[in-house]
Amino acid sequence: MLYHIDRPTSYIVVGNRLKGAKPLEVTFKDVTLSYDGKREILHHLNFTIPEGTLVSILGPSGCGKSTTLMMISGLLAPTSGKIFFGDQDVTKKDALARKVGMVFQNYALYPHLSVLENIEFPLKMAKVPKKDRKKKAIELAKLVHIDDQLDKKPGALSGGQQQRVAIARALAKEPSLLLLDEPLSNLDARLRIEMRQEIRRIQQETGVTTIFVTHDQDEALHISDHIMVLNQGQIQQFSSAETLYDNPSNLFVSQFIGEPVINTLDITDFDRELEGHVDAEILQRAKKVGIRPEALQDHDTGSETLTTIATKVKHSEKYGREKNALLDFHGKPLLTTEMRAEVADEQELPLYLQRHGFYLFDENGVRIFGGDQDA
């Protein structure tokens, strides 16, 4: 809201994107990166981030998320491949020319400047008149709820406060592309949710293309239009949150997305339970089995049920309205969140394996059964 009201006219000149102007689309074409010329950190990345969307890059620590952002911002040149903003090839342009906004993983605030001066810095570099830039900076400080700390130095702020200053600074020059490297990782749970809604709101109001790096799937699922799952320098899947969950393209994605984590078994853990229910040819190729905890029901669901399996209850407990049970299946643990009936420990229990949330993966981890086959 504050982002729009009373925008000083000079400010419009500064922002490289006028309101209503085209937000950026970002494309990677076969981008590879190696820091030392020996070990490849990112392998042949190909993707397009549609203009005006909020995309999360989600992946475990060290998978190359920050490195990807550095290449988008122009701080790091790809070893090979091309980067496009819209249809403009920006591969050879440096950060100064690309004019993106960015929040760094460790905030990177200027220690010698006050909060206000930090937020003003990009405007000062853009030669915005002193009065206008102060007004804009205060507006942004209010937006991120840091306007009571304006005169402090970053060293005197908590991690969460520093993070908010960094967000305000990134927004100051109203970039056409906003890059956020784990911007919420240091906030407490409540503020984190508040800030992520705030970021979403700002993004939707301004239409700025936003790339949001996180290793928190919950954050990614809530904030983004699309999620790119990255692991070991490769894109595992790039789709909507729903598709990621319902149609994981491989074992890694199925295990990475979902709370509680999907049950994973070897195909050899099954006797003949799947025979006749899954194509013999597919069964032949399958190596791993993924079963979402909600795909194990304790009652017959008719056509939704693929087959039944015989298990033994090891332990069951109730969390709020969820009733979990840890089961034993041929010596392997299985978790279900769908218990309806009261069960006793050590009780034999047949479970109805649902079609939805049951997957088979081949030796490369690629999904060959379950979900939509064409998704």
Partner 1 sequence: MKLKVAMVLRYVILILGAVIMLMPFLWMLSTSLKTQPETVKIPPIWIPKQLQFSNYVEAFKQAPFFQYFINSVIVTSITTIGQLFTSILAAFAFSRLNFYGKNFLFVIFLGTMMVPGEMLIIPNFVTLSQLHLVNTYGALIIPWLASFFTVFTLRQTFQSVPDQIYYAAKIDGASDWHYLWHVLVPISKSTITAVTVLQVIGSWNSFMWPLIVTNSENLRTLPVGLQAFTSDAGTNYAWLMAASTFVIIPMVILYIFLQKYIIAGISKTGLKG
Ligand X SMILES: Nc1ncnc2c1ncn2[C@@H]1O[C@H](COP(=O)(O)OP(=O)(O)OP(=O)(O)O)[C@@H](O)[C@H]1O
Strand partners for 311: 349
Tokens of 158: 């908590």
Member of 2, 41, 138, 191 binding ligand X (CB under 6 A): 41
Interface positions, 212-241, toward ligand X (CB under 6 A) = 215
CB of 180 to partner 1, least distance (A): 12
Member of 66, 73, 250, 311 binding Mg ion (CB under 5 A): 66
The amino acid present at 341, given as its one-letter code, is A
Kind plus residue range of the DSSP H or E element containing 367: strand 367-369
Could you say which of partner 1, Mg ion, ligand X, none residue 331 binds, taking C-beta under 5 to 8 angstroms by partner kind? none
Distance CA 267, CA 360 (A): 8
Member of 27, 53, 56, 66 binding ligand X (CB under 6 A): 66
Could you say which of Mg ion, partner 1, ligand X, none residue 61 binds, taking C-beta under 5 to 8 angstroms by partner kind? ligand X
Distance CA 248, CA 241 (A): 10
Distance set, CA 190 to CA 160, 185, 273, 363 (Å): 12, 12, 45, 42
Sign of the alpha-carbon dihedral angle for 202, 208, 211, 217: positive
Binding mask 198-217 for ligand X (x = CB under 6 A): -----------------x--
186 binds Mg ion, rule: CB under 5 A:
no
Could you say which of Mg ion, partner 1, ligand X, none residue 95 binds, taking C-beta under 5 to 8 angstroms by partner kind? partner 1
Q: For Mg ion, which stretch binds (CB under 5 A), given 89-97, 102-110, 172-180, 354-362?
A: 102-110
1 binds partner 1, rule: CB under 8 A:
no
Binding mask 126-155 for partner 1 (x = CB under 8 A): x----------------------------x
77 binds partner 1, rule: CB under 8 A:
no
Distance CA 168, CA 173 (A): 10
208 binds partner 1, rule: CB under 8 A:
no
CB of 133 to partner 1, least distance (A): 12
CB of 104 to partner 1, least distance (A): 5
35 binds partner 1, rule: CB under 8 A:
no
155-164 own/partner pairs: CB under 8 Å, 24+ apart: 155/111, 157/115, 159/186, 159/187, 160/186, 160/187, 160/188, 160/191, 162/107, 162/109, 162/186, 163/103, 163/107, 163/187, 164/195
**Where are the alpha helices (H) located in 77-206, listed in sequence order?**
95-98, 115-125, 130-143, 159-172, 189-206
